[in-house]
Amino acid sequence: MNEIKEFGTAQAAAIHCLSIVGQIEGHQVLPEDAKTTKYEHVLPLLAAIEEAPEIKGLLVLLNTVGGDVEAGLAIAELIAGMRKPTASLVLGGGHSIGVPLAVSAKRSLIAPSAAMTIHPVRINGVVIGVPQTYAYFSRIQDRILGFVTGHSRVSREDYLRLMNKTDELANDVGSVIHGEEAVRLGLIDAVGTLSDALDWLHGQIAEG
């Protein structure tokens, strides 16, 4: 996972392809059969990509089903802070923490058949019902909201409305939005495919 491999031909500018799939595993231990992205592997890899002179751009392929919120935000913050051209492509689903990951790149795309699920922060297991617990969840939610609205064109009002919708998801609060709607809301830059993402990256690299 820590080895940097070029993506593309020798003649083309080198683009590194990073896939973030399944649940994002942070400090919480997930079952061995869960397909996960371990954030402690991804963080140093992103730093190495940023410093590697032979790597000219980063393509992030996303198909997430949630996971550790803090770990996902850590990855998103690093991607957002990279100087090199970065593009994200949502494939299949961008669930929960996949939303800030998608908007962290300088150019975000969503496949025509893909969808994004937006809902409030949740936790499994026992929750202690004290004011400090609710304040903690509120702060996490504010951080996610601030990150998403700060790295996309979606308004705070629209994102809150989607997050708190009660008539769409069975036994849950939130919304599922598809490609064109995500673009119309300003959450994602464009509907596109792998070739569109690569074309944009090569264009940015050529411009220097």
Catalytic annotation, residues: 96, 119
Strands 107-110 and 175-178: unpaired
Q: Are 59 and 201 in contact (CB under 8 A)?
A: yes
Distance CA(116)–CA(61), nearest Å, equals 14
What is the length of the chain?
208
What does DSSP say about strands 15-25 and 86-95: parallel, antiparallel, or unpaired?
unpaired
Is-contact 116 93, C-beta < 8 A? yes
Give the Cβ contact number of residue 19 at 10 Å. Answer: 12
8 A C-beta contact, residue 57 and residue 15 = yes
